[in-house]
A and B are shown apart, each in its own frame.
Chain A
Amino acid sequence: MAAPRRRYDRKPPVTLPRVPAPPFVRFLLRRAGALVLLSLGITLVAFALTQLVPSDPVAANLGEQAAADPAAVAAFKERYGLDEPIPVQYWRYLTNLLQGDLGESLQDHEPVRENLARYVPATAELAVLSTVVAVLVGVAFGVAAAVRRNRFTDHLLRVFSLAGISMPTFWIALVALYVFFFRLGWFPGGDRLDPGVLEPPHKTGMYTVDALLAGQWSTASDALHHLILPALVLAAYNVGLLTRYTRSAVLEVIGNDYVRAARAKGLPESSVLFRHVLRAALPSVVTVIGLIFANVLTGTVLVETIFAWPGIGQYAYRSAVTLDLPAIMGVSLFVAVVYISVNFVVDILYGVIDPRIRVT
């Protein structure tokens, strides 16, 4: 007679003890998940935008005669897949996208990806320099205003920063060009290099970096010379914004008891400012960087048009005006993904700098 099977005869299933992921990893995963979902949403928006609008890419891209010819229209639609049902178009768009295929621009019949690869470095160069300038100057101004609050410096900087966020970028660009190029001749009036200066060998596409890598000092300085004026113009708005944010962030911290304690125990003022005040104020300033970056991208559309800067802003504008759907989708997708990635990095940075954030 077989012994009745008892429960403990069975081998216990091998289960690893569930160790909860450390909070910071969970924080990262949660943010990364949101990033992926948002990216998918963006493709949907980019696609929907081009579908829901009443304008007709056929009319916009074929000549009048060709648009009147049904055969030409049908050929055009078939070539770009415009004759298929919308979900099919979206699905094909997504699968192509995952393979890195953004479609073909209707303007120059080149792959949008190649266009982007050509224009993005020019804008990247401009945006990075401009952001660096804006952060350095804006934070310095903001700290100065907070330290000298309600005194002359503070009032002056307040007017200054409000002026910065009130000036239309395209207008400062125009005035700067008139004064520094047309009148004074200190800076070139547009484009990335002087005529006659050869492009540096292509590595990153950013001329200053490429020229430095190749050791072409004169090309590098020429490229930088062309970069300064548009970068400063782009920075104006963000300097104003950062001054205001930094000022209020510093003011929120500077009245705390531990700052007073630091002073009371005889620390030099510089140490109080940098170690105690800025350390606590910077996290909230860092969160603005995403916003700064969005402003720079917005500004490039306007600034690049005026400075004849062959970057993504100009490309975006050209595509929007000519209703170049694949290019519009490509640009908005690219810009949005870069933008949310920047915000993702900022979120993480914020979590690193300020541990309290990771838990919530």
Chain B
Amino acid sequence: MSTALAPEKPLRPRLSRRWFPPALRQPLTLVGATIALVWFLVAALAPLVAPYDPLEQAFVPFESPSAGHLFGTDELGRDVFSRVVYGARISLPLGVLLVVLASTIGGVLGALAGYFRGWADGAVMRVADLVFAFPAIILAMVVTAALGRGLTNAVLALVIVAWPSYARVVRSLVLSVGDSEYVWATRLLGTSARRALVREVLPNVVGPVLVLATLDVGNAILLLSGLSFLGLGAQPPAAEWGSMVATGTQYFQFWWMGTFPGLAIFTAVLAFNFVGDSLRDVFDPRTARESRERL
């Protein structure tokens, strides 16, 4: 073991090594983070990146990709590239918003269920079981159709579908953390249940939930674009990736109309999955690389 050969000077690890766990220094993570960053920049700077107005019907329809129109033009003579660029302004923020809402609602309910147990636990988890009994998109589809089509309702429907997985995770974490001795100790010292939950339990729960949430942003973008693809989310003429692919299926000999928005969804989701996958390795030692060396 290296302890026998203690160096004379204390080791000074480089800052990056101290700050980033090894799993986060992998090429995949970097690639993922870069793509995600590029997409967020594109979304933020859309008016500067896009050469044309995404809604302006100013060109010859069905033009194949060229120097003037990188991704060609669509059935109404709009520039597909500009539409894809502006599409980032819908999918990315809504994907993040969706995850924030779902994790907040699910997290709070799960924490209450796990900490107070008893009937609160029973009620929350049975409702979660019920939501879990439906495949996500079918429930989301029915809810959206019933509430009325549109992006807001699609997001709402997906929140309804998505919160239970957070509730389950947070509940089980709170159950295990809430039973630990240091929580009992603070309670015995006279801390209120609420304060113990917020000050002692929650900090230990936030990490894993953040991982789950990052992983889920990709999923959220997929589901949301799926609903828009079905015509239940974004409504025309909005430049939304899913609905652009849907138009593409109607004119599929003009391959550029559906291919490029689809690629946009793919790369954005892939970026989050690359990052999320490595994040999971950091927080789940069983799949982490270091622990595998014992073979």
Contact = CB atoms under 8 A, between A and B. Distances in A.
Contacts of B147: 53-55
Contacts of A158: 28, 277
B231 A321 contact: yes
A182 B258 CA distance: 14
Contacts of A328: 142, 145
A50 B146 CA distance: 8
Interface string B116-144: 00000000001001100111111101111
Contacts of A159: 28
Interface string A140-167: 0000000001100000001100110111
Given A49-B146, A339-B134, A168 B265 contact: yes
Contacts of A163: 266, 270
Interface residues of B, number: 52
B58 interface: no
Given A41-B130, A159-B28, A182-B252, A251 B141 contact: no
A336 B148 contact: no
A174 interface: yes
Contacts of A49: 142-143, 146
Chain A interface helix/strand/loop/mixed: helix
A182 B259 CA distance: 14
Given A159-B28, A168-B226, A178-B252, A301 B143 contact: no
Nearest to A162: B273
B289 interface: yes
B245 A168 contact: yes
A32 interface: no
Given A54-B147, A163-B270, A339 B265 contact: no
Contacts of B252: 174, 177-178, 182
B291 to A, nearest CB: 8
Contacts of B143: 49, 53
Interface string B193-218: 00000000000000000000000001
A163 B161 CA distance: 24
Given A38-B129, A150-B292, A168-B266, A178 B255 contact: yes
Contacts of A301: 137-138, 141, 230
Interface in A56-107: none
A306 interface: yes
Contacts, number: 153
A166 B266 contact: yes
Nearest to B265: A168
A255 B293 CA distance: 9
A331 interface: yes
Interface in A331-349: 331-332, 335-336, 339-340
Contact of A162 (B255, B274, B295): B274
Contacts of B295: 254-255
B194 to A, nearest CB: 31
A317 B140 CA distance: 11
Contacts of B138: 297-298, 301, 316, 331-332, 335
B230 A317 contact: yes
B135 A297 contact: yes
A178 B255 CA distance: 7
Given A254-B295, A323-B146, A170 B245 contact: yes
Nearest to B252: A178
Nearest to B284: A248
B287 interface: yes
Nearest to A260: B295
A326 B249 CA distance: 30
A305 interface: yes
B225 interface: yes
Contacts of B277: 158, 162
A214 interface: no
A320 interface: yes
B114 interface: no
Contacts of A305: 230
Interface in B86-115: none
A267 interface: no
Contacts of A213: none
Nearest to B259: A175
A320 B225 CA distance: 17
Nearest to B263: A171
B87 to A, nearest CB: 13
Contact of A298 (B137, B229, B270): B137
Interface of A: 38, 41-42, 44-45, 49-50, 53-55, 149-150, 158-159, 162-163, 165-171, 174-175, 177-178, 182, 248, 251-252, 254-255, 294-295, 297-298, 301-302, 305-306, 316-317, 320-321, 323, 328, 331-332, 335-336, 339-340
16 contacts: A38-B130, A42-B134, A158-B28, A168-B266, A170-B245, A170-B249, A171-B265, A175-B258, A301-B230, A305-B230, A316-B138, A317-B141, A317-B230, A320-B145, A321-B145, A332-B138
7 closest cross-chain pairs (CB), A and B? A171-B262, A53-B146, A320-B145, A166-B270, A166-B269, A298-B137, A297-B135
Interface of B: 28, 126, 129-130, 133-139, 141-148, 218, 222, 225-226, 229-232, 242, 245-246, 248-249, 252-253, 255, 258-259, 262-263, 265-266, 269-270, 273-274, 277, 286-287, 289, 292, 294-295
